[in-house]
């Protein structure tokens, strides 16, 4: 849901939906003017914007208006999963605090999922080489949850159809909000910037050369691990 909202450019509408879900746990509301005013105040948006969000959520079928009872039915998450074929069971717990920062949550979900997926691969293949590093899964009791994994923005772009700039912003937002641990990785030795750029151009390689720790170095893939725990929803 978070990823679909990011790629479909409806994160703000999703924020409104999540707030409605948090407020009305019984799955229905009349959304009368007093309730709309509270939503506007909580979301810090105008009356025109909240009406636009509600209209959008109705068009998706996430809010269904019953003209006889004059209630809106708020569709259940598992029903939405079924209708949209979102089969992944991993879920991020949303509260009155976390729903406000959906960009950071989306970054956490993406990088947390790919961290988990990477260690699944290591467990399956026992050993994985990624450029300058080697990763081993040595024991059935091995706890990968706080072991860093290399997750590149290029990978995020390829898998989720998100631009590199957006993938980088989502990662940094998740890090700043304390959802993931992030480590920048560089070559141990300095490099000659001009000579390395010429080599990269000749070999058609990306210019991953940055100034860090007192000199120019090659920048490797960032490593991450989640500082939260996914929950699991039921199988569809």
**pLDDT tens string 77-115:** 999 999 999 988 999 999 999 999 999 999 999 999 999
Query: Taking Cα atoms as reference points, which of 140, 81, 168, 151 lies closest to residue 116?
Result: 151
Tell me what pLDDT residue 134 has.
Answer: 66
Tell me what pLDDT residue 202 has.
Answer: 47
Residue-range domains of the chain with CATH: 2-85 (1.10.10), 102-183+222-232 (1.10.10), 186-219 (no CATH)
For the chain, which residues score pLDDT lower than 70? Answer: 128-143, 186-219
Tell me what pLDDT residue 124 has.
Answer: 75
Let me know: does 215 contact 69? Beta carbons within 8 Å.
no
Predicted model pTM: 0.83
Tell me what pLDDT residue 101 has.
Answer: 94
Tell me what pLDDT residue 7 has.
Answer: 93
Let me know: does 218 contact 186? Beta carbons within 8 Å.
yes
User: Which of helix, strand or coil describes residue 194?
Assistant: helix
- Residues in CB range of 166: below 8 A, 6 or more apart: 6
Separation between Cα atoms, residue 33 and residue 50, nearest integer Å = 11
Tell me what pLDDT residue 121 has.
Answer: 84
Task: Scan for tokens 């269904």, then name that residue.
Answer: 64
Separation between Cα atoms, residue 192 and residue 3, nearest integer Å = 40
């Amino acid at each position: 849901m978070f990823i679909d909202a990011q790629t479909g450019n409806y994160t703000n509408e999703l924020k409104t939906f999540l707030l409605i879900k948090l407020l009305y746990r019984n799955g229905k509301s009349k959304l009368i003017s007093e309730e709309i005013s509270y939503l506007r105040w909580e979301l810090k948006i105008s009356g025109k914007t909240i009406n636009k969000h509600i209209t959008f959520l109705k068009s998706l079928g996430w809010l269904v208006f019953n003209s006889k009872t004059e209630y809106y039915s708020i569709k259940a998450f598992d029903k939405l999963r079924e209708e949209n074929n979102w089969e992944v069971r991993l879920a991020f717990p949303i509260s009155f605090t976390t729903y406000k920062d959906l960009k950071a949550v989306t970054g956490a979900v993406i990088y947390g999922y790919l961290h988990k997926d990477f260690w699944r691969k290591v467990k399956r293949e026992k050993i994985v080489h990624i450029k300058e590093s080697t990763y081993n899964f040595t024991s059935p009791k091995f706890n990968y949850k706080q072991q860093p994994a290399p997750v590149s923005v290029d990978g995020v772009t390829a898998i989720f159809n998100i631009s590199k700039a957006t993938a980088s912003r989502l990662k940094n937002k998740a890090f700043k909000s304390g959802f993931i641990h992030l480590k920048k990785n560089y070559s141990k030795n300095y490099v000659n910037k001009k000579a390395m750029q010429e080599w990269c151009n000749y070999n058609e390689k990306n210019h991953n050369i940055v100034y860090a720790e007192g000199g120019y170095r090659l920048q490797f893939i960032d490593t991450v691990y989640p500082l939260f725990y996914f929950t699991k929803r039921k199988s569809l």
